[in-house]
């Protein structure tokens, strides 16, 4: 396929986006920097509202252009004289005074081929021909306009909210969206009237890009290559009919892709997909199955189409080049310390073998070199061995140096009071000692809702009552995070300090799996104890002494005895063993332990009260970027609750 030059692409864009009046009525102006104010007057637009610009605009000219389109230099309304602007032969220059005050900032042109920030922000412009040599669009440049159609050249870079809040925009053709930031989401940028959207090359498309406020969307087309597209992508889009993938795809998320789209008829894959997991599309009655016109290398068991043999892929038109593009993309991202890098490393060894089978020897060697240079040095080690080899914790010289504390909501808190009364928790906990009360609440939450590790996050408030009612109404379960939060809330409601703890692996960047448990404070023992509602699990030493997660971690590292309660189980369907639960699963997940600094009802999600930051307990010298505070002093982390 013959590649178009940037200018040719922009010219095609200009033709598609322009329907100006006849030549005789268009005001045409050739601008030298700072001259626009003397080249136009109100009478020029008495019988038309179109303006064709050529030449170079500076900051002073932008002030004039904004005023012609309905907004002055500080954003106040002006009479609208121009609604259609042809900028095909325009460049920009940073001279003249900055031109617009928004949120306390002034703006100015930055380079010859960058559309200046806030250029048409909140103006009445309805039609626009983009500059032929455009290479980037500044922040807010096309935000809150009256445009109905926008088509960007493929290699244009969009600034922050460059296109957003455009309630009239119906068609949008995006440039390449590359890098670690989530791909362009119409929901995020409030394009409520959008009917058709087309993507170019996109590194990452985040979950929830098309949701319930996309009431008009009819067609979503991915024309370029996709690095990764999340599952749970589309929901409650009543007019959506087609989703088309024309380019190669490295990987897709799962399990759910589209939900409650009553008119969705087709999800079509027309190129090579390395890892396909988008299989579940509930409440889409017109969608019978995925349409696979391309080829698949690795698929979920639920995908109707089988994997395509490599020999067949190499014999089909366009497929070898698609495989080459994906491999080049993976090599380019292998060393990234982000989600794109994680995916590339996770699939590196498999891709080497695929390329060898495809007889792409040189590419296979490059992939192997990139993988070896960036692979996990712990590959081949057991999870327990990795934990044993971790650096020790390091005590702080000044124990008062930490700038945070963990707080625990009192049982008199209104939400905790509601929880206690709704479930009659005094009766659930019983009248025994604190250990029996803690265990009673552990078993109660274990039985209250079903554990479902693959469930999507609920739309309700994250308090125990609402979570329970939502589970009943939707006949659903929750992942370990919600079960641990629910148990922590029940304990707090009964006056027992508790924390829910996120337990992660050393390879947290590459390993998305973690486990969230609860720990409760026992006054009788003077210590924290481990209680995990997902498995109704607690842990003791050989003498029956209940342990907290730090003690379990130490004993795993030093081969000391650990005992898991005999009735630990998963949903009363399978027993949990000490060997799997502790020696394997939790040995992996006790490398990093973090907690919310505010232990309360609704500690996360939508809530009316403040939400806490997080602190992570890490081995000395370990890199971790998923917490607000880092701590290497385990004595401080496991300190008794401050109960003033």
Kindly report whether the global pTM for this prediction surpasses the value 0.75: no
pLDDT for res 622: 95
pLDDT at 20 exceeding the cut of 60: no
Contact assessment for residue 199 and residue 178, using Cβ atoms and an 8 Å cutoff:
no
Nearest Cα to Cα of residue 462 among 355, 255, 603, 329: 603
Check residue 467 and report its DSSP letter: H
Which two three-digit tokens encode residue 614? 């997080």
pLDDT at 424 exceeding the cut of 90: yes
Q: Which residues contact 159 (CB under 8 A, 6 or more apart)?
A: 117, 136, 137, 138, 139, 140, 141
Strand duo 574-575 + 569-570: pairing: antiparallel
Q: For residue range 187-245, list pLDDT tens digits in order.
A: 989 999 999 999 999 999 988 999 877 999 999 999 999 999 988 899 999 999 999 99
pLDDT for res 500: 98
Three-class SS state of 413? coil
Q: For residue range 253-263, list pLDDT tens digits in order.
A: 877 899 999 99
Which two three-digit tokens encode residue 69? 């389109």
CA distance readout (Å), 104 to 74, 107, 122, 528: 10, 10, 16, 49
In order, the DSSP letters of 196-216 are EEEE-SEEEE-TTSB-TT-TT
pLDDT for res 273: 95
| Cα dihedral 603/605/606/611 (nearest 10) | 40
Q: Distance (Å, rounded) from C-alpha 137 to C-alpha 109?
A: 11
Residue 232 falls in which region: left (phi positive, over 0), alpha (psi -120 to 50) or beta: left
pLDDT, mean of residues 344-362: 94
pLDDT for res 303: 65
Contact assessment for residue 286 and residue 237, using Cβ atoms and an 8 Å cutoff:
no
pLDDT for res 280: 78
pLDDT for res 6: 37
Contact assessment for residue 131 and residue 10, using Cβ atoms and an 8 Å cutoff:
yes
3-state SS string over 334-368? CCCCCHHHHHHHHCHHHHHHHHHHCCCHHHHHHHH
Percent of the chain surpassing pLDDT 90 = 78
List the single range of 126-130, 160-164, 275-279 with lowest mean pLDDT.
275-279
Which two three-digit tokens encode residue 641? 């609750």
pLDDT band at 1 (very low <50, low <70, confident <90, very high): very low
Q: Distance (Å, rounded) from C-alpha 347 to C-alpha 268?
A: 24
Contact assessment for residue 180 and residue 205, using Cβ atoms and an 8 Å cutoff:
no
Q: Which residues contact 596 (CB under 8 A, 6 or more apart)?
A: 499, 500, 603, 604, 611, 612, 613, 614
Contact assessment for residue 196 and residue 221, using Cβ atoms and an 8 Å cutoff:
yes
pLDDT for res 299: 80
Contact assessment for residue 601 and residue 415, using Cβ atoms and an 8 Å cutoff:
yes
pLDDT for res 538: 98
Neighbour count for residue 471 (Cβ, 10 Å): 21
pLDDT at 265 exceeding the cut of 60: yes
Which DSSP helix (H) or strand (E) runs through 173? strand 171-173
pLDDT at 342 exceeding the cut of 50: yes
Q: Distance (Å, rounded) from C-alpha 101 to C-alpha 190?
A: 23
Strand duo 563-564 + 574-575: pairing: unpaired
Check residue 555 and report its DSSP letter: H
Nearest Cα to Cα of residue 560 among 541, 578, 545, 576: 541
Neighbour count for residue 516 (Cβ, 10 Å): 23
pLDDT at 3 exceeding the cut of 70: no
Q: Distance (Å, rounded) from C-alpha 16 to C-alpha 88?
A: 12
Q: Distance (Å, rounded) from C-alpha 273 to C-alpha 319?
A: 10
Contact assessment for residue 287 and residue 258, using Cβ atoms and an 8 Å cutoff:
yes
Q: For residue range 593-608, list pLDDT tens digits in order.
A: 999 999 999 999 988 8
pLDDT at 24 exceeding the cut of 60: no
**Sign of the Cα pseudo-torsion (369, 373, 376, 379, in order):** positive
Residue 434 falls in which region: left (phi positive, over 0), alpha (psi -120 to 50) or beta: alpha
pLDDT for res 452: 93
Q: For residue range 488-498, list pLDDT tens digits in order.
A: 999 999 999 99
Q: Distance (Å, rounded) from C-alpha 155 to C-alpha 520?
A: 54
Q: Distance (Å, rounded) from C-alpha 12 to C-alpha 109?
A: 25
pLDDT, mean of residues 420-425: 98
Contact assessment for residue 202 and residue 182, using Cβ atoms and an 8 Å cutoff:
no
Which DSSP helix (H) or strand (E) runs through 8? helix 6-17
Higher pLDDT, 314 or 21: 314
CA distance readout (Å), 302 to 232, 256, 530: 16, 12, 37
Helix residue ranges, H only, 531-599: 549-557, 578, 587-589
Which DSSP helix (H) or strand (E) runs through 629? strand 629-631
Q: Distance (Å, rounded) from C-alpha 585 to C-alpha 583?
A: 6
Helix residue ranges, H only, 34-160: 59-68
Q: Distance (Å, rounded) from C-alpha 338 to C-alpha 335?
A: 9
Q: What is the mean pLDDT of the chain?
A: 91
CA distance readout (Å), 133 to 6, 112, 136: 7, 9, 9
Q: For residue range 99-125, list pLDDT tens digits in order.
A: 877 656 889 999 999 999 999 999 999
pLDDT at 21 exceeding the cut of 70: no
The number of C-alpha atoms within 13 Å of 401 and in the hemisphere containing its C-beta is 10
pLDDT band at 12 (very low <50, low <70, confident <90, very high): very low
Nearest Cα to Cα of residue 441 among 520, 523, 379, 365: 520
Which DSSP helix (H) or strand (E) runs through 522? strand 515-522
Q: For residue range 311-336, list pLDDT tens digits in order.
A: 999 999 999 999 999 999 999 999 98
Strand ranges for 534-585 from DSSP E = 539-540, 563-564, 569-570, 574-575
Which two three-digit tokens encode residue 174? 């995006």
Q: Distance (Å, rounded) from C-alpha 142 to C-alpha 165?
A: 9
Neighbour count for residue 104 (Cβ, 10 Å): 5
């Amino acid at each position: 396929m013959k590649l178009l030059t940037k200018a040719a692409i922009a010219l095609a864009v200009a033709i598609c986006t322009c329907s100006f009046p006849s030549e005789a009525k268009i005001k045409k102006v050739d601008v030298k920097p700072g001259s626009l104010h003397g080249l136009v007057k109100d009478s020029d637009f008495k019988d038309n509202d179109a303006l064709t610009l050529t030449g170079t605009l500076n900051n002073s000219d932008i002030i004039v252009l904004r005023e012609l389109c309905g907004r002055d230099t500080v954003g106040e309304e002006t009479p609208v004289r121009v609604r259609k602007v042809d900028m095909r032969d325009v460049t920009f220059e940073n001279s003249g005074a900055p031109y617009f005050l928004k949120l306390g900032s002034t703006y100015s042109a930055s380079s010859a081929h960058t559309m200046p920030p806030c250029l048409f922000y909140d103006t009445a412009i309805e039609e626009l021909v983009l500059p032929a040599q455009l290479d980037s669009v500044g922040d807010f440049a096309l935000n809150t306009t009256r445009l109905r159609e926008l088509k960007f050249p493929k290699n244009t870079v969009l600034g922050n909210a460059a296109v957003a809040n455009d309630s009239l925009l119906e068609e949008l053709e995006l440039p390449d969206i590359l890098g670690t930031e989530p791909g362009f989401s119409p929901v995020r940028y409030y394009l409520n009237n959008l009917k058709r959207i087309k993507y170019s090359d996109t590194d990452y498309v985040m979950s929830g890009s098309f949701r319930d406020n996309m009431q008009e969307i009819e067609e979503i087309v991915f024309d370029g290559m996709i690095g990764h597209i999340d599952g749970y992508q589309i929901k409650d889009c009543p007019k959506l009919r087609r989703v088309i993938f024309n380019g190669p795809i490295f990987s897709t998320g799962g399990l759910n892709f589209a939900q409650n789209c009553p008119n969705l008829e087709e999800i079509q894959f027309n190129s090579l997909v390395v890892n396909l997991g988008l299989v579940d599309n509930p409440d889409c009655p017109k969608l019978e199955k995925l349409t696979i016109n391309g080829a698949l290398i690795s698929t979920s068991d639920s995908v109707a189409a089988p994997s395509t043999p490599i020999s067949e892929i190499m014999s089909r038109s366009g497929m070898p080049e698609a495989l080459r593009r994906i491999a080049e993309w993976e090599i380019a991202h292998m060393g990234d310390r982000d989600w794109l890098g994680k995916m590339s490393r996770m699939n590196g060894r498999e891709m080497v073998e695929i390329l060898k089978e495809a007889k792409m020897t040189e590419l296979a060697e490059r992939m192997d070199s990139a993988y070896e240079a960036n692979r996990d040095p712990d590959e081949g080690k057991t999870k327990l061995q990795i934990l044993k080899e971790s650096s020790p914790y390091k005590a702080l010289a000044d124990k008062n140096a930490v700038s945070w504390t963990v707080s625990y909501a009192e049982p008199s808190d209104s939400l905790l009071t509601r929880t206690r009364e709704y479930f009659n928790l005094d009766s659930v906990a019983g009248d025994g000692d604190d250990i029996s009360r803690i265990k009673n609440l552990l078993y109660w939450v274990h039985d209250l809702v079903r554990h479902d590790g693959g469930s999507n996050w609920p739309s309700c408030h994250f308090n125990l009552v609402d979570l329970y009612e939502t589970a009943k109404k939707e006949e659903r379960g929750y992942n370990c995070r919600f079960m641990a939060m629910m148990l922590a809330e029940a304990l707090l409601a009964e006056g027992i300090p508790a924390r829910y703890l996120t337990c992660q692996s050393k390879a947290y960047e590459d390993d998305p799996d973690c486990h969230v448990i609860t720990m409760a404070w026992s006054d009788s023992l003077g210590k924290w104890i481990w209680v995990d509602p997902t498995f109704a699990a607690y842990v003791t030493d050989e003498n029956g002494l209940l342990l907290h997660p730090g003690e379990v971690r130490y004993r795993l590292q030093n081969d000391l005895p650990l005992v898991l309660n005999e009735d630990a189980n998963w949903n009363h369907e399978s027993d949990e063993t000490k060997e799997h639960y502790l020696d394997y699963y939790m040995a992996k997940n006790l490398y990093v332990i973090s907690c919310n600094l505010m232990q309360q009802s609704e500690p996360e999600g939508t809530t009316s009260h403040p939400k806490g930051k997080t602190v992570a307990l890490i081995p000395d010298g370990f890199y971790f970027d998923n917490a607000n505070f880092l701590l290497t002093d385990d004595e401080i982390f496991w300190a008794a609750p401050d109960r003033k």
